[in-house]
Structure 1
Amino acid sequence: MEYLKINGEQFYNMVVHASNKLEQQKEYVNSLNVFPVPDGDTGTNMSMTFRAAVKELENKGIESVGEASKKLAKGALMGARGNSGVILSQILRGISKGLEGKDEADSVEFAYALSEGAKSAYKAVMRPTEGTILTVVRGAAESAVASTKTNVTELMEEVCTQAKIVLDKTPEMLPALKKAKVVDSGGMGLLIIMQGFYEALNKDIKATIEEYHKSAENVSAANNLVDHEIKYGYCTEFIVLGDSSKADEFKNEINEFGDSMIVVGYEDVIKVHIHTNDPGLVLSKAVQLGELSKIKIDNMREEHRSLIVSENSYAHEVHEHTTVEEEPKKYGFISVAAGEGIKNIFLDLGVDYVIEGGQTMNPSTQDIIECVSKLNAENIFILPNNKNIIMAASQAAEISNKNLIVLPTKTIPQGISCLTMFNPEAEVEDNIEEMKDVIETVSTGSITYAVRDTEMDGIEIKEGNILGLLEGKIKEVGQDVYEVTDKLIEHMVNEDSSLITLFYGNECDRNKAEELKNRLEDRYPDLDIQSYDGEQPLYYFIISVE
């Protein structure tokens, strides 16, 4: 099909078809994970991010390609999950910049937009690594800019061809990919999106957003943060198409009508979320600012939602939430964790809210922003506790109107150690320095299982093998959980060690975990040995040595 120019409707068909295509193939993208551990979530994160983006376009009837791309970028910004999702959101943000103000885009203009997408992605990453999605998007953009095609369909065909060529070269750029005999998973996700763009144009597809069954881990983490006794019964969400500079003023105006409030201004829209007993009153005030869009009202008293925290954790959360005073406290904490036992530990250490997440369950930027809205604090520390959540947390910090400080914790033990070093009487900068310093002193090990056959660093691994990871790298492989754990700890302990902490997961035998602790106490009489039932999924043990 020939398209010398594409308008908003055609762009809508392109992105919706691409989103459906990526959702259908996300498990294949997940399977390209280099490590044979159960954390291959690149496809899931990219798909959830892209689906959040296209939802912003649903039922809008947008004719302008510039307006369509702007809404797509905004949806991706808030829905971004994991590093791959954040990078994808930045690609879409760059494309939106390239198409800004255009009713239609010809092949040259669309090629320029793809180039802006690549530039935006590279800027978002502090230390770009070649052989990843970044390399693929740059290669695709360069081929688009160099193309002489006037038909946008033919342009996208060339882009897909070049993206595939670059993707196939990624194993030569990253030794880890070559050893695992896979291409980069993020790059594959991007290729699927580009192929979706091309197919929609070539086959003149009139796309509709396909609905998929949401598994438990795909439910928004922040939606689970509900009050044990619901004071305000209607979860009300909508967008105001108006002057975003009035966001703070509107927030103050509706503050008395509910709680769990988020009012975020971005360019020419204001995104609102509030729990209230009078949605009509809130909407009547909002309509004075501009046209209302994407109105969604849920009766929370009728809904059964899974809880993020246990009943004890809930008591803690409600206490924090219902005793907020007009004057904000100096410090607040938000942590990401999985496992009731581990979440309770964070709450006991003073964390205000725990977002359920970790491997395979990365919270979105919006999940974090919604949690931030519940905290009446001058300075809010965020503990991601996973390297794949840091970028989404940082993106939340960039768009929030509160002072959010992202501590770059990559593991649960690092997050716990930061909290133990926190001094509520100290100044913000002193606390940041102290907590960042302690991150470097924590050695983290974990015990999980192999999800496929592979070979890593000369070690042959079979599906189902027990893996001992030290700082994310495979150190031990065996058949018995407790033997592998025992051997891994030997690698972790040195003459400076003073404390070993074990967090055992929901697949562990409690008695065997205690027997392991006893053996460690006999072997290391000068060290303090602690053991906790973390109840975490996927990992039999998370181990900290300090």
Structure 2
Amino acid sequence: MKRWLGKAETTLGNHSDRLNAINIFPVADGDTGTNLYLTVRAAAHAFDPAETAPAAVGDGVFVAAPDPAQNDVGAILALAGQAAMEQARGNSGTLFAVFLGAAAEPLAGHTRLSTPLLAAALNRAQIRAWSALSDPVPGTMLSVMEAAAHAVAAVDQAHNGDDSNQTLGLALDAAVEAALEAVVRTEDQLAALHAAHVVDAGGVGMLLILDCLRSAVLGEGLQDELLDGLHGYDVQAPHIHTDMPRDDGVEVMCTIALSALDAAMMRQRLDEMGDSVIMSQVGGAVDVEGHYRWRIHVHVTDPEPAVAFIRSLGDPTDITVSELAVPRDPDLHAAGVSARDGHEL
């Protein structure tokens, strides 16, 4: 699992420029590659010695690192998922963090991956990712997650729950193949992608992450030809997002402890104020008041009412407000730098 996330960090770093170049949905802000890379990097570095010491992560909430001697696959991924969620960037990064944290749950207490466990993990992860968004749509990385999960479930069913490494290899092959097919389909599932003649950037990023999982588990190399022929992904292709209309508004993100009632109110009100609303729990710890911590993401025209509303329900941390109408400078993205760094409030 650590090798998987390390491979994913390197791979997304190498591909961030092309992912940024074709990023036009849900907004053409050209930063999907950067956001995914930074979020996956946070997950991969959750195992660094400085990161794995017990540390405060919220009001009175402490999370201890799992004991590496236990080789608990679920505990390792839960730690990585929480780190990713704490530092998630953008729609794509937040959805990957949701995916990773949810995938960890069925794996808790297990010392190795198997096809039945992988099927359970991917299914839990794709369902949680779909439900995290207030208005999920097909043709995005959600569809890629779903296709991979269904493919692994089909292999598991066909082999009657066999937990051998051989069947696991077949399941991982099927997951990547189904993910690739789902990526190709995205071009015709979303009008914006069809008009621009490109596939979804987040979907391609998720495909790369799944191929890194296959590579890490099977001890095989990445499939270099995997992205050949994907529309808009040729290295000579232009930065598609630079020709798209500039999007007004900002992206607001934060972490906040909420009761179940306040969490429901938060989602309803943010849906009214903006779009691209993503809400997901950060870890499973409950504070002394019985509140869970939530990671919040929303696109709004004016940040002030949104921030004021969020503050009315609690004491948020790590509030960032980032412009969606970024400078159209491909050189920034080629250097792997986000033009939309945002600022904390």
Q: Give the TM-score category using the shorter length.
A: 0.5 to 0.7
The amino acid of 1:87's aligned partner reads: L
1:158-197 to structure 2, matched below 5 A, reads 158-197=174-213
Residue in structure 1 matched with residue 88 of structure 2 by the alignment: 80
Superposed displacement of residue 407, structure 1 = 10
Superposed displacement of residue 203, structure 1 = 3.3
Given the two structures, how large is their TM-score scaled by the length of structure 2? 0.61
The amino acid of 1:157's aligned partner reads: D
Superposed displacement of residue 164, structure 1 = 0.2
Q: What do the CA deviations read for 1:146-185 (whole angstroms, capped 9, x no partner)?
A: 0147422332122111100111001111111011111111
Higher relative contact order (CA 8 A, sep 6+): 2
1:397-546 to structure 2, matched below 5 A, reads 410-411=300-301, 414-416=302-304
When residues 56 and 107 of structure 1 are mapped into structure 2, their CA distance, relative to the original with a 3 A threshold, is same
Residue in structure 2 matched with residue 132 of structure 1 by the alignment: 140
SS at match of 2:278: helix
Unaligned runs of 5+ in 1: 1-10, 206-357, 370-379, 430-445, 453-536, 539-546
Superposed displacement of residue 15, structure 1 = 2.1
Paired with 2:85 and 2:201, the residues of 1 have a C-alpha distance of 21
The alignment status of 1:100 with 2:90, answered yes or no, reads no
- 2:73, 2:112 within 8 Å by CA — same for their partners in 1? yes
Paired with 1:69 and 1:135, the residues of 2 have a C-alpha distance of 22
Higher Rg of the two aligned structures = 1
- 1:14, 1:200 within 8 Å by CA — same for their partners in 2? yes
Residue in structure 2 matched with residue 342 of structure 1 by the alignment: none
The amino acid of 1:58's aligned partner reads: D
When residues 35 and 191 of structure 1 are mapped into structure 2, their CA distance, relative to the original with a 3 A threshold, is closer
Paired with 1:140 and 1:194, the residues of 2 have a C-alpha distance of 8
- 1:36, 1:450 within 8 Å by CA — same for their partners in 2? no
SS at match of 2:135: coil
SS at match of 2:300: coil
Q: Among all aligned residue pairs of Structure 1 and Structure 2, give the percentage whose two residues are the same amino acid.
A: 26
Superposed displacement of residue 101, structure 1 = 1.6
Paired with 1:81 and 1:187, the residues of 2 have a C-alpha distance of 16
Instruction: Select which of 10, 14, 17 maps to 1:24.
Output: 14
- 1:82, 1:363 within 8 Å by CA — same for their partners in 2? no
Residue in structure 1 matched with residue 173 of structure 2 by the alignment: 157
- 1:38, 1:451 within 8 Å by CA — same for their partners in 2? no
Superposed displacement of residue 57, structure 1 = 2.3
Q: What do the CA deviations read for 1:210-253 (whole angstroms, capped 9, x no partner)?
A: xxxxxxxxxxxxxxxxxxxxxxxxxxxxxxxxxxxxxxxxxxxx
Residue in structure 1 matched with residue 44 of structure 2 by the alignment: 54
The amino acid of 2:176's aligned partner reads: C
SS at match of 2:43: helix
Paired with 1:167 and 1:407, the residues of 2 have a C-alpha distance of 24
Instruction: Select which of 26, 29, 49 maps to 1:39.
Output: 29
Paired with 1:36 and 1:156, the residues of 2 have a C-alpha distance of 29
Instruction: Select which of 115, 118, 126 maps to 2:126.
Output: 118
Q: What do the CA deviations read for 1:334-369 (whole angstroms, capped 9, x no partner)?
A: xxxxxxxxxxxxxxxxxxxxxxxx87xx7865xx56
Superposed displacement of residue 204, structure 1 = 5.4
When residues 116 and 409 of structure 1 are mapped into structure 2, their CA distance, relative to the original with a 3 A threshold, is closer
When residues 178 and 50 of structure 1 are mapped into structure 2, their CA distance, relative to the original with a 3 A threshold, is same
Instruction: Select which of 83, 98, 118 maps to 1:90.
Output: 98
- 1:66, 1:104 within 8 Å by CA — same for their partners in 2? no
- 1:131, 1:184 within 8 Å by CA — same for their partners in 2? yes
Superposed displacement of residue 94, structure 1 = 1.6
Superposed displacement of residue 193, structure 1 = 0.4
When residues 130 and 447 of structure 1 are mapped into structure 2, their CA distance, relative to the original with a 3 A threshold, is closer
Paired with 1:407 and 1:111, the residues of 2 have a C-alpha distance of 28
1:260-299 to structure 2, matched below 5 A, reads none
Residue in structure 2 matched with residue 238 of structure 1 by the alignment: none
Instruction: Select which of 140, 145, 154 maps to 2:153.
Output: 145
Superposed displacement of residue 194, structure 1 = 0.6
Unaligned runs of 5+ in 2: 53-67, 222-248, 257-265, 314-323, 331-338, 341-345
The amino acid of 1:89's aligned partner reads: A
Paired with 2:152 and 2:42, the residues of 1 have a C-alpha distance of 26
Q: How many residues align?
A: 250
Residue in structure 1 matched with residue 229 of structure 2 by the alignment: none
When residues 121 and 400 of structure 1 are mapped into structure 2, their CA distance, relative to the original with a 3 A threshold, is same
Paired with 2:16 and 2:179, the residues of 1 have a C-alpha distance of 18
- 1:144, 1:159 within 8 Å by CA — same for their partners in 2? yes
The amino acid of 1:97's aligned partner reads: E
The amino acid of 2:181's aligned partner reads: I
SS at match of 1:20: helix
The amino acid of 1:47's aligned partner reads: Y
